Structure 1
Amino acid sequence: MAGKRRRNGHRRRNLAAVALLGGVGLTTHDSAKAGGMRREPGPKVNIGKTSSSSEPVTYLADHESYTKDGVATWSGNVQVWQGDQAMRADKIVYDRNSGIMRAMGHIAMIEPDNSTIFTNTLELSNGMHNAIARGIYIRMQDNAKIAANGMRRTDSRINDLSKVIYTACKTCEKNPDKPPFWQIRAYDAKQDSEHKRIEFSHAYLQFFGVPVFYFPLFSMTDPTVKRQSGFLMPGISPHDRYLGTYATIPYYWVINDSQDMTVQALVSTRTGPQISAQYRNNLRFGKIRFTGGVADATRHNTSFLNFLDNRTESTSTTGIQGYARGKVDFVINRNWRAGANVNVASSANYMRDYRITGYGNEVLASDGFVEGFGVGSWARLDAQLYQGLNQGVIQNAQLPFVLPRFSYGFQAQRDPLGGVFSLNTTDFVVYRPEGVNTDRAQIRLNWDRPFHNALGQEWLFTLRLDAAGYQASHYRQQPLYAPIGGTHTSGQFLPTAALKVSWPFMRSFAHGAGVQIIEPIAQIIASPTRFYKPTSLIPNEDSFQYEFTDSTLFSLNRYNGTDRLDSGVRGNIGLHGNWTWHGHVIDFLVGESIQRSIDPYRSPYDGLGHHLSSPVGRIRLSPNRFVDLTVRGRYNPYGKPFDYGEALLNTGVNHFHVNAGYIYEPITPYYLYQQNYRFNQVSRAYSTPISEITAGVNGDYGHYHASVYGRRSLSRKEFVSIGGDVGYANDCFGLDVMFIKQYTFIGGQQRNTTVLFNFTLKTIGTFGING
């Protein structure tokens, strides 16, 4: 009965309010249950949408009273809302004659964008659309806050604020009056809820209460908005080797909910202007990313002497220059997808001068593909194009066009004999304006039958068939340099049988002290012997590098492709060991190959120049969680001590880490095909060993972080690249100073040292200076 009486009491007060205030559009809704009020369904909350003045104003109060001259007083936890705006206060006085509401005491007004205004005195008119307040505090998203001496609201869209302070930093709990890390203090400000902008006039950016920058006018996006069209922060760089003093002016355009574009203008003192754009589109079935630019370049470049000791004339890099870089991915259905990657530029010098991403690479690669996945199968059809950037070393006419390439792989379920069948093929058409042209159809059939016996031995029996057919022309040109000409049709057919056995011995230590494994491994491989003579009609498009290391010791084919195949009768032996205890690890593998026939046309640096190969090995040491070291190499007992080696070290403690690496090889195989190696015209770049060391250190302490890295060629006695970063970051501010130096020569020149100075103010943006 008590609940029923209370519901009836609410109803009487609401109906009385309707009778008293209905003439000015202020109405109430009926109570839903005891002790509360139910609001009738209204418009959905839409961030950024203001309520209409024609919508009713609803209220709820603990106490209410009325006077004969039309003044209503509500007190005791008063709640008022209109559309998507809501307010609570200790007391509200409403004058029906003037249409003014005066709210007092602990006022909190919730806006449609979910921000909240706090004050102690507030006067409203026209429902809740016009207001005047003194001493307000606004809390917005991302911990953004505004404090002002006064506010005037117009039509629920414009808030004019006086004596304003804005920040997104946390307030000190021990000393709330202490200035935040940073704040903007302005004479006045205008908050536009319709266009989602906040404009400050006569503003100072202060750090710890100390003015640092002055802005006569400063405009920013409202923190409630994640995407909005408008100008972004401009960038100014005082000095650049190729651009001089330059400035960038970016504009961000929100096309719709899934698309946007950033257009940027660049003007400099040493060359012509550039306009560039970045386009993004997130589709329901894929995404598009595209970046491009065009410039009127005015810098002239001269000829230069490359590291092959050849004088190279510089290509034309003046006038209209441009670049395009894009990526497209589409999901056709649950089994198929398609995409493309585009990377093109008018010249490397243009990329260097205008700081285009990708400068420093020797080639730009582009491709388009269609790819499908099934149960145990995979297929891909693609096309590949390449553009050489370092014209002193790589000529575009010698780069291949792969139009097209088809790859397919299939693996069956285990058959009744206990084996697993797989099929792989990679077929392509390769065209070079200057070089070998190749058409290839290739297939690999493989059958693996694993089994084990009562002694714990693990066996693997393999049958493999490799077959390929070719039609090629221009054999005398790169990369074959064969002493034959004309167009030829050829093929190869290689059956292989292999048997591999491993016998792991394991023991456990008492009290969970660890596990130790010793595993001897042996393998025998048999196939017809095949040597690839200089006059061979079999082209070579994917097997330029022969890798005999611990990772390929038991591989049936140790080339990185299928145009060249390992053949003959050979055996491989190895010993694998592992000891793990209390999180510590020691793991190693050593082994070598025994071969019946020696290929006289193979590189003298591959470790297979004798019947008993050079031993290969790997060891990983992780004595504790602070150190992890991996070393691998190939020892040559017949010549130089080592003809391959590398090491990788990671060590550190909390907040401090060190990583280092080293790699050695007696040649640089990449440059073998730069000149006709068949007639001993091997370049100096090829005969120079690879001996490089890399190292990096990074650490952090509290809000501070720092890192430094370097890469140096010991054989060439020069650095490849160095860099570092020092920064500070807290809840509302970030500062980074980065240093980058690349020693890559393209077009006979290096890019100069780059220093990047960036600082970020939360909810406002990132400011940067490049030098």
Structure 2
Amino acid sequence: MLRWLVFLLWLLPAAALAQATPATLVADRIDFDPTRLVASGDVEIFADGRILRAERVTYLRDEDRVLVEGPLVLVDADEAVLVADFASLSADLRGSVLQGARLVLADRLQIAAAEIAQGEEGRYTQLYNAVASSCTICEEGEVPVWQIRARRIVHDREERQIYFDQARFEVAGVPVAWLPRLRLPDPTLERSTGWLAPRFSSDDLLGTGVTAPYFITLGPSRDLTLAPFVTNREARSLGFRYRQAFNRGRLEVTGAVGEDEILDGETRGYVFVEGVYALPRDYRLVWDLEAVSDDDYFVQYSITDRDRLDSRVAIERVDRDSRFVAETILYESLRAGESNRFIPSRVVTIERQGRTRPDLIGGQALWTLQAHGRQRIASRVPPGEPSNSARDVLRASAAVDWQRSWVADSGLVWTGIGGLHLDAYNVRQDPTFDDQTFARAVPYAGLELRLPMTRRTGATREVLEPVLQFFFAPDNDPRTPDEDSLTPEFDEGNLFAPSRFAGRDTRELGSRINLGVGYTRYDASGWEIGGLVGRIIRADSLGQFRPGTGLDGDTSDWLLSVGASYRDRFHLLTRSTFDDGGTVSRSETSLVLLGENHSLDTQYTFLEGDATAGRPIDTSEWTLDASIGLGGDWTGRANWQYDFNTNDASRAGLGLTYRSDCVTVDFDVRRRFTSTTTLRPSTSFGLAVGLAGFGAEDRARRARKCGL
């Protein structure tokens, strides 16, 4: 049979008057007389953004109606699809009555009904004796994981809401809840006021309870989430999150407030305030404010493991060749035995950096100007406390760091390095410095030699690069109040640095040689394997570095770093520092393994004991976070932290997730083994259930199926 194509056919005069654009009909066969038009065989009608597909369509001219014999499919422009056995439609395909029909919204939620009716304006769709589910509504008696049955369901296209009358919620066909009225967002709505998925929990300290978040939209740029939490042990808490977007910035406030039996009669809670706002001339105002009612709140409510808070307000600007920051930071320690009165809790810094290319000597220079102050709350040193317990410091600094490279014909890269760091201090409330104002200057100069060597074998490339650095700096320096350089580290990132100290209070002194050799292999298959070995040799040991850092003595420990990676699926990095006798002072190993149905992230850390750093014994710790697909829609999770010195676990957890096309169920159990004077070991359980198909989400679309 020849396929007939009618372009821009005026399907009927009434439709032509009602629509801004005509309807288009495509069919294998068209028959018509003065009273009716009959189209048959792969019929398609396009009208005002809607598409009707059927085997036979009859237009009744006198009634201005379209009768459609199914099976038929009616596709709307807003990702709504109607499937039915029979339909009676208006000429513009808006007003309709469909029998034995099913409505599919955004390929996420489907509603089956005995009858579906749409008004002429197309805003409301009413479904009678209906059942809704984002799981497949199966044939032959099978039931989906969950479904909602209702006497009537109304879909409001304009508000993108779904209303249920006399709703009954069923799980695996078993009724579990009855609701006379229910409102839920349709799958195309990203933000809507209403209840979110609840979370159930059980804890040794707080008891068994439930968190029921309620989301409130406050316009297109603001929203508020309230999360009441109640338990059987009289714990009452109200969590909250407020978010607002501005034309030039954003604001987010999160926190909670409540009472419990742990601190009976006291109000407990926390608040975090984060935001950024764009100022003129590319400056930014950034703030991050943090506060908590007591030291144990975060751990007891499983919010975070942080043991120090840092509230920060800053104005900053960063571009290609300059950086400016003016910031104030307020530190608050939550650690047992550490008093906020005797730590530098108030810190103010103003810093300007710039990068230039000097015309006279060439190369590149980085200059820095900084004003810095830190203050302790204590105004005097209490008996029995260290002499610096009340120390306040003001520091003004200026620095310039320069380097320039030349490449010889042999491929040898010569780099000249030099710099000068100037600092002026005013120290108060520390008898060691006797309220002194003093200055210091630390110049340095250096020469670096690199000889990169490359070998190619087919598509594989290997690079071997020995590096030798000579640094010259003074051997003595006025004593300074060191508080920002207390924990120097030795790794591949600073092996060839002018100074191993991260801050400005202490600069590395003395003449020394930094040497090392690196190797990297780039394989065409995606593998990348490399390593670095090196050490530092000094003219004299000046006692700047503590034992345990790997940097003390005339010669540092050997640094060995080895890494391997395969695209984004496998990453291995291990680094160690050890002396000539093979005794390891520090070792770290990290492994990340990612696959389609599994993930592994594990680290091992060993640190030699260092009493001056607050670590009287060795640290040997292993952490693990892993997940694996268990088949079907099930995923198992595990996390672990183990201390090899005490042969005890610090924490452990197991989790199980069921995630299908229509539902997510998360169950987890966590155990904290550590204890303090105010905390005892505890076990907690958590359960959360989320239904797909209501409200927009980033869940990947999966093949639909019935049952578990």
Structure-1 residue corresponding to 2:381: none
Give the TM-score, by structure 2 length.
Answer: 0.83
Contact 1:249 1:265 in 2 (8 A): yes
Picking from 436, 456, 465, the partner of 2:420 is 465
Structure-2 residue corresponding to 1:494: 442
Structure-1 residue corresponding to 2:703: none
Structure-1 residue corresponding to 2:553: 610
Contact 1:143 1:170 in 2 (8 A): no
Structure-2 residue corresponding to 1:557: 499
The superposition leaves residues 580-619 of structure 1 with CA deviations (integer Å, 9 ceiling, x where unpaired) of 5555555332222222222246423334443233322223
Distance 2:619 2:66 in 1: 81
Structure-2 residue corresponding to 1:283: 246
Q: What secondary structure, in the 3-state scheme, does the structure 2 residue paired with 1:687 have?
A: coil
Structure-2 residue corresponding to 1:45: none
Contact 2:452 2:464 in 1 (8 A): yes
Q: What secondary structure, in the 3-state scheme, does the structure 2 residue paired with 1:397 have?
A: helix
Q: Quick one: structure 1 residues 111 and 751, their matched pair in 2 at CA, closer, same or farther if it must change by over 3 Å?
A: farther
Residue 724 in 1 paired to residue 691 in 2?
Answer: no
Higher helix share: 1
Structure-2 residue corresponding to 1:51: none
Distance 1:653 1:104 in 2: 49
Q: Quick one: structure 1 residues 116 and 350, their matched pair in 2 at CA, closer, same or farther if it must change by over 3 Å?
A: same
Contact 1:108 1:116 in 2 (8 A): yes
Q: Quick one: structure 1 residues 231 and 643, their matched pair in 2 at CA, closer, same or farther if it must change by over 3 Å?
A: closer
Residue 321 in 1 paired to residue 268 in 2?
Answer: yes
Structure-2 residue corresponding to 1:440: 395
The superposition leaves residues 539-583 of structure 1 with CA deviations (integer Å, 9 ceiling, x where unpaired) of 223101122344322211111111101111122222333455555
Residue 252 in 1 paired to residue 215 in 2?
Answer: yes
Q: Which amino acid aligns with 1:189?
A: R
Structure-2 residue corresponding to 1:148: 113
The superposition leaves residues 261-307 of structure 1 with CA deviations (integer Å, 9 ceiling, x where unpaired) of 11222233323532232111222322221113322x24245xxxxxx
Structure-2 residue corresponding to 1:222: 186
Structure-2 residue corresponding to 1:28: 16
Structure-2 residue corresponding to 1:365: 310
| Structure 1 residue 340, shift from structure 2 partner | 1.0
**More moved, 578-587 vs 268-277:** 578-587
Contact 1:598 1:608 in 2 (8 A): no
Distance 2:76 2:460 in 1: 63
Residue 635 in 1 paired to residue 578 in 2?
Answer: yes
| Structure 1 residue 356, shift from structure 2 partner | 6.0
The superposition leaves residues 329-364 of structure 1 with CA deviations (integer Å, 9 ceiling, x where unpaired) of 2223572222211221112344445x2623x21112
Contact 2:376 2:391 in 1 (8 A): yes
Distance 1:455 1:29 in 2: 85
The superposition leaves residues 388-411 of structure 1 with CA deviations (integer Å, 9 ceiling, x where unpaired) of 223x23222234344531222211
| Structure 1 residue 131, shift from structure 2 partner | 5.6
Give the 5 Å matches for 1:517-528. 517-528=463-474
**Structure ranking higher on relative contact order (CA contacts 8 Å, 6+ apart):** 2
Residue 421 in 1 paired to residue 365 in 2?
Answer: yes
Q: What secondary structure, in the 3-state scheme, does the structure 1 residue paired with 2:615 have?
A: helix
| Structure 1 residue 132, shift from structure 2 partner | 4.7
Q: What do you get for the CA RMSD once the two structures are aligned?
A: 3.8
Contact 1:349 1:746 in 2 (8 A): no
Q: Quick one: structure 1 residues 600 and 252, their matched pair in 2 at CA, closer, same or farther if it must change by over 3 Å?
A: closer
Q: Which amino acid aligns with 1:221?
A: P
| Structure 1 residue 122, shift from structure 2 partner | 4.2
Structure-2 residue corresponding to 1:53: none
Picking from 129, 143, 162, the partner of 1:163 is 129
Distance 1:594 1:27 in 2: 91
Distance 1:737 1:292 in 2: 24
Distance 1:82 1:452 in 2: 71
Give the 5 Å matches for 1:49-88. 73-76=36-39
Q: Quick one: structure 1 residues 590 and 459, their matched pair in 2 at CA, closer, same or farther if it must change by over 3 Å?
A: same
Distance 1:498 1:339 in 2: 38
Distance 1:485 1:29 in 2: 94
Q: What secondary structure, in the 3-state scheme, does the structure 2 residue paired with 1:28 have?
A: helix
Give the 5 Å matches for 1:638-717. 641-650=583-592, 655-656=597-598, 658-667=600-609, 672=613, 686-700=615-629, 701=631, 703-717=633-647
Q: Quick one: structure 1 residues 181 and 507, their matched pair in 2 at CA, closer, same or farther if it must change by over 3 Å?
A: same
| Structure 1 residue 472, shift from structure 2 partner | 1.8
Distance 1:660 1:343 in 2: 30
Residue 386 in 1 paired to residue 331 in 2?
Answer: yes
Q: Quick one: structure 1 residues 619 and 80, their matched pair in 2 at CA, closer, same or farther if it must change by over 3 Å?
A: closer
Structure-2 residue corresponding to 1:343: 290
Distance 2:97 2:687 in 1: 43
Distance 1:744 1:343 in 2: 25
Distance 1:413 1:458 in 2: 19
Distance 2:351 2:84 in 1: 69
Distance 2:256 2:658 in 1: 33
Distance 1:130 1:546 in 2: 75
Structure-2 residue corresponding to 1:404: 348
Distance 1:268 1:521 in 2: 62
Q: Which amino acid aligns with 1:759?
A: V
Structure-2 residue corresponding to 1:307: none
Distance 1:736 1:235 in 2: 9
Contact 1:165 1:183 in 2 (8 A): no
Q: Quick one: structure 1 residues 80 and 501, their matched pair in 2 at CA, closer, same or farther if it must change by over 3 Å?
A: closer
Q: Quick one: structure 1 residues 95 and 396, their matched pair in 2 at CA, closer, same or farther if it must change by over 3 Å?
A: farther
The superposition leaves residues 501-529 of structure 1 with CA deviations (integer Å, 9 ceiling, x where unpaired) of 123344444xx274444433222111111
Structure-1 residue corresponding to 2:162: 197
Distance 1:141 1:342 in 2: 41
Q: What secondary structure, in the 3-state scheme, does the structure 2 residue paired with 1:142 have?
A: coil
Structure-1 residue corresponding to 2:386: none
Structure-2 residue corresponding to 1:759: 689
Distance 1:469 1:428 in 2: 10
Q: Quick one: structure 1 residues 756 and 613, their matched pair in 2 at CA, closer, same or farther if it must change by over 3 Å?
A: same
Q: Quick one: structure 1 residues 115 and 439, their matched pair in 2 at CA, closer, same or farther if it must change by over 3 Å?
A: same
Distance 1:402 1:466 in 2: 25
Contact 1:520 1:574 in 2 (8 A): yes
| Structure 1 residue 87, shift from structure 2 partner | 6.6
Distance 1:578 1:152 in 2: 68
Percent of residue pairs identical: 19
The superposition leaves residues 64-107 of structure 1 with CA deviations (integer Å, 9 ceiling, x where unpaired) of 666xxxxx6454379999988887871244666xxx84734245
Q: Which structure has the larger Rg?
A: 1
- Matched residue count: 666
Q: What secondary structure, in the 3-state scheme, does the structure 1 residue paired with 2:107 have?
A: helix
Q: Which amino acid aligns with 1:247?
A: V
Contact 2:275 2:287 in 1 (8 A): yes
| Structure 1 residue 63, shift from structure 2 partner | 6.1
Q: Which amino acid aligns with 1:407?
A: E
Q: Which runs of 5+ in 2 are unaligned?
A: 1-5, 379-389, 698-708
Structure-2 residue corresponding to 1:305: none
Residue 116 in 1 paired to residue 81 in 2?
Answer: yes
Contact 1:519 1:576 in 2 (8 A): yes
Q: Quick one: structure 1 residues 285 and 563, their matched pair in 2 at CA, closer, same or farther if it must change by over 3 Å?
A: same
The superposition leaves residues 411-453 of structure 1 with CA deviations (integer Å, 9 ceiling, x where unpaired) of 1246454311111244322111033211111122011011122
Q: What secondary structure, in the 3-state scheme, does the structure 2 residue paired with 1:319 have?
A: coil
Give the 5 Å matches for 1:566-577. 566-577=508-519
Q: Quick one: structure 1 residues 79 and 29, their matched pair in 2 at CA, closer, same or farther if it must change by over 3 Å?
A: farther
Q: What secondary structure, in the 3-state scheme, does the structure 2 residue paired with 1:487 have?
A: coil
Contact 1:300 1:318 in 2 (8 A): no
Structure-2 residue corresponding to 1:69: none
Q: What secondary structure, in the 3-state scheme, does the structure 2 residue paired with 1:565 have?
A: coil
Residue 374 in 1 paired to residue 319 in 2?
Answer: yes
Distance 1:122 1:623 in 2: 57
